[in-house]
């Protein structure tokens, strides 16, 4: 895997580590509520669900970092593909911005990995 591909895969991984922190630890804070546009009541009701979602983002980040560290294109393709699918589904069902914040960076990284 090229240096550019590794850098892009790492960027997507760091994004997902950030999502993990937002969803698992900052969800009920003023910063988390402002980021997601939620009320204190909604944040309190959905905190356990978001912690679970944050954990999944952590798994994606771990897989992407594994791929970047080892330089294994097959790992990068799998985990980036997972991110693209999750981003498209989120963009269609939750908020359009997810397409640009999650799916697009992963799709770009995936394209670069595939250009080997």
Whether 76 and 5 have beta carbons less than 8 Å apart is answered as yes
> What integer pLDDT is reported at residue 72 of this predicted model?
96
Q: For the chain, which residues make up each domain, given as ranges?
A: 3-114
* DSSP for residue 26: S
Q: CA 110 to CA 116: how far, in whole Å?
A: 11
pLDDT band at 32 (very low <50, low <70, confident <90, very high): very high
107 vs 27, 69, 100, 113, CA distance in Å?
A: 27, 19, 10, 10
Question: pLDDT digit string (tens) for 67-111?
Answer: 999 999 999 999 999 999 999 999 999 999 999 999 999 999 999
């Amino acid at each position: 895997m090229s240096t550019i591909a590794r850098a892009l895969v790492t960027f997507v991984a760091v994004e997902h580590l950030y999502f993990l922190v937002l969803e698992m630890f900052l969800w009920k804070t003023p910063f988390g509520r402002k980021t997601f546009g939620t009320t204190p009541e909604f944040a309190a009701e959905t905190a356990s669900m978001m912690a679970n979602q944050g954990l999944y983002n952590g798994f994606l980040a771990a897989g992407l970092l594994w791929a970047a560290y080892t330089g294994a294109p097959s790992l990068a393709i799998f985990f980036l593909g997972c991110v693209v699918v999750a981003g498209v589904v989120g963009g269609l069902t939750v908020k359009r911005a997810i397409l640009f914040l999650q799916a697009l960076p992963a799709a770009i990284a995936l394209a670069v990995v595939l250009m080997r």
